[in-house]
Structure 1
Amino acid sequence: MQALSPELRAYAERVEEVATAFEADAYTWQGEIPWENLRLLADEGLYCPSIDEAYGGEGMSDLASVVLTEAVSRACPDTGWFVYTQSMVGPRAIDLFGSESVKEAYLPGVTAGEDHISIAISEPDAGSDVGNMTTTVEEEDGRLVCNGEKMWVGGVPFSDVAVTWVGFPEGLGSVVLPLDDPGIEVVEEYRNMAGYSQTQFSIDDVEIPTDHVLTRGEDGFKQQLVSLNWERLGSSTLAIGWAAAALERALAYADEREQFGQSLDEFQGIEWKLAEMYRELETAAGVVYNTAASADGHESAPSRLKTSVAKLHASQVAEEVISEAVQIVGARAYQQGHPLEYLYRLARGRRIAAGTDEMQLNTIARALKGDGVPKVSER
């Protein structure tokens, strides 16, 4: 695994120390935002590390956000989920592409642990196929007007705005959509497998202020794809954090549980399971951390190829490791309300959200066909 610098190692240790306060209420949030945990991280100067310092972040690299997300996810999976979305998804896009006025309006509340920003990409007829989106922004009498529909949007009840992918006349782009506009109507609220709220809403003649446009024009779509690299990287980090939490629980249970006159971890079959779980976790973590380390500085991003490999591998490893943890603990872990049962439901979503397994495979294959196998100097 990529070795952490002394600065990042010290940062990780601080996060781990603070995150111990989250353990008592972990697995109880039921899809609600653990605001008190986010505010504590913010008060300690640990939250949203890759957001610019001018807006309350630390101006650090994506590697710092990976460190934060993994450490917090191991202590409290729900806090980790919100850390990821606010450090590496919607607010990160505003930080890099937004106007000064939009950054000043929305980022300080996020970095203080007080506000939440959603991201809206999918539509009823456009999931992975973003080119088929029908949500548009067009100029009408000198105004920018948005119409369309979005679904599977997380965090809408907690958010004032959503970073929203749209089609401009000249191609794809993105805007900061005000969710309190009268033209926004909730069509349906869903609860996903993990109990998280997801919203489908329509957009009817919502005016978009010109300073709320993030990307448009010839380079707009390229910038959108770059922003997905952070999302894939963050999703990968969540996966390894949750897998590590499951392995820790399985290890502790196997040490405590006695059957046939000895603890479970004295049976070679269980020993091999634990060893294989760690091997998978360590390889996935190595891919994730090396991918994050390949991004040079605050405004750069790791490559689409690297983040697709990390997303695909970490998501599959998380499901496998958590499944084996359930197997070791047995019937208790299969009951609703058990931490491992919850982790399994959470982890299953990682193979869909931020790009399905199949989309990652397509991306990897196309990159290899176009550019070949990366050289040693390109690692």
Structure 2
Amino acid sequence: MFDLTAEQEMVLSSLEDIARKEFADRAFDWHGEPPWENIELLAKRGFLGINIAEEYGGGGMGEFEAMLSIEAVGTVCPDTAEFLYNQQMVAPRAIEMFGSEEAKDRYIPPVVDGEKAIAIAISEPESGSDVGSMRTTVSDDLVLNGEKIWVSNIKHSDAAVVWVKYPEGLGSLIIEFDWDGVEVQEHYTNMHGGTQSQIRFNDVEIPEENVLTRGKDAFVDQLKALNWERLGCATLANSFSRNAMEKALDYSQQREQFGQPIGDFQGIEWKLADMLTELEAGRMLTYRAALNAHKQGRIPDRLETSMAKLYSTERAEHIVSEALQIHGANGYQQGHPLEYLYRMTRGRRLAAGTDEIQKNQIAAVLKKSGMPDLV
């Protein structure tokens, strides 16, 4: 696909080997629960938090290597890959990028060791993609009030990064779920069995060291950093596509009808050809954006990120659906890997910015800057 360094090749091949040998047998048994035994194994072998600085126990690599790890694992075990995505490219990474030394020392090492997880809380009952209308507020003396919804993995997390509104503007901070005034009000179960929760904050006192971003410039930097999260989401979706496609290809070569493998019928051949083309197009968009940023030491480009996230997640739903179609009634049964993978993949079009938000971003750049350069 791309020219990788020897270190990147090692990460990719090692994780592929671990996933196929250690994770395959139970890959679709987790039903939305964190696969802790897989996480502990990855931590023990040094592959959890590979983009976290070595001083906090991580591998000292970059976001691109983290994306390689997500794709390698997700091709086999989607739940393990989703955990890697959440704990390498979302909340803990925000703490490392924007947190105080006290916060980094307290919250990051347990994640890298596979002992704890950190959630992220952005959406509110009246505010989703429109973060400017958030009603969760923090006073000048750092007292937090408000509520958040659709927060994933609270049951398995000890803390959360929370987006808030300070008197001077938007920002973020870290809370712990056992603090006074933090109340988990209700749990919801999403399509693939994962838990999402609603939290209420009532006069929660925030230590100064738990403030992440505060003020316009700092929060703008956090918004830009979301591009890495979105590329991680695209990578996760691409790994689901490959997972589904491998299953469809194997099944089409083994299942016989009318005296031949169904994969020899043109109708199935064309499905496989379209699926592979869509998968590789999504991967090219995703890794182009990541490598351009990686090589230049910058945040990924807004246009490239939104196109990659939009296309990869949309096409993932289509690819998994076509893989299920190739399996026929077998794939439609509860308990079949493709039935589970379809439900899991659908959420990627909502997480890290919906399809519609990505299209708004793409159109905004296009209208402002015109067509992108040819090279």
TM-score category (smaller protein): over 0.9
1:286 paired residue number: 284
* Structure 2 SS opposite 1:175: strand
2:229 matched residue in structure 1: 231
The amino acid of 1:55's aligned partner reads: Y
CA distance in 1, matches of 2:106, 2:96: 11
Alpha-carbon contact 1:172-1:220 (below 8 Å) kept: no
Q: Which residue of 1 aligns with 2:6?
A: 6
One-letter amino acid of the counterpart of residue 115, structure 1 = K
Other-structure match for 2:173: 175
Amino acid corresponding to residue 152 of structure 1 in structure 2: W
Distance 1:2 1:291, change over 3 A: farther
Q: CA deviation at 1:299?
A: 6.9
CA distance in 2, matches of 1:119, 1:78: 18
Q: Distance in 1 between matches of 2:267 and 2:3?
A: 32
2:101 is aligned with 1:100: yes
Q: What is the aligned residue count? A: 374
Asked if 1 retains the 8 angstrom alpha-carbon contact of 2:64 and 2:294, the reply is no
Highest relative contact order (Cα 8 Å, sep 6+), 1 or 2?
1
8 A contact 1:51–1:95 mirrored in 2: yes
1:196 aligned partner: 194
User: Take 2:60 and 2:370, find their aligned partners in 1: how far apart are those partners?
Assistant: 34
Question: What does 1:192-341 correspond to in 2, within 5 Å?
Answer: 192-296=190-294, 300-341=298-339
Corresponding residue SS for 1:295: helix
Which amino acid counterpart does residue 11 of structure 1 have in structure 2? V
Report deviation, 1:182.
Answer: 2.3
- Offset, 1:301: 2.2
Q: Secondary structure at the match of 1:75?
A: coil
Could you say if the C-alpha distance between residues 360 and 136 of structure 1 is closer, same or farther in structure 2, counting changes exceeding 3 Å?
A: same
- Partner amino acid for 2:137? T
Output the CA distance in 2 between the equivalents of 1:127 and 1:33.
25
Quote the sequence identity (%). 52
- Indicate the residue corresponding to 1:370 in structure 2: 368
> How far apart are the structure 1 equivalents of 2:84 and 2:297?
19
CA distance in 2, matches of 1:299, 1:46: 22
**What letter is aligned with 1:92?**
R
Q: Using the alignment, how far apart are the partners of 2:3 and 2:326 within structure 1?
A: 31
Aligned to 2:61: 60
Alignment deviations for residues 38-79 of structure 1 (CA, whole Å, 9 cap, x no partner): 111111111111111111111212110110001111111100
Gaps of at least 5 residues in structure 1 are none
Which amino acid in structure 2 is aligned with residue 18 of structure 1?
Answer: I
| Offset, 1:362 | 0.1
CA shift, 1:231, in A, is: 1.5
Provide the residue aligned with 1:41 in structure 2: 42
3-state SS, counterpart of residue 104 of structure 1: helix
Residues in 2 aligned to 1:98 and 1:26: alpha-carbon distance in whole angstroms:
34
Q: Give RMSD over aligned pairs.
A: 1.3
After the TM superposition, which segments of 4 or more aligned residues of structure 1 sit over 6 Å from their partners?
A: none
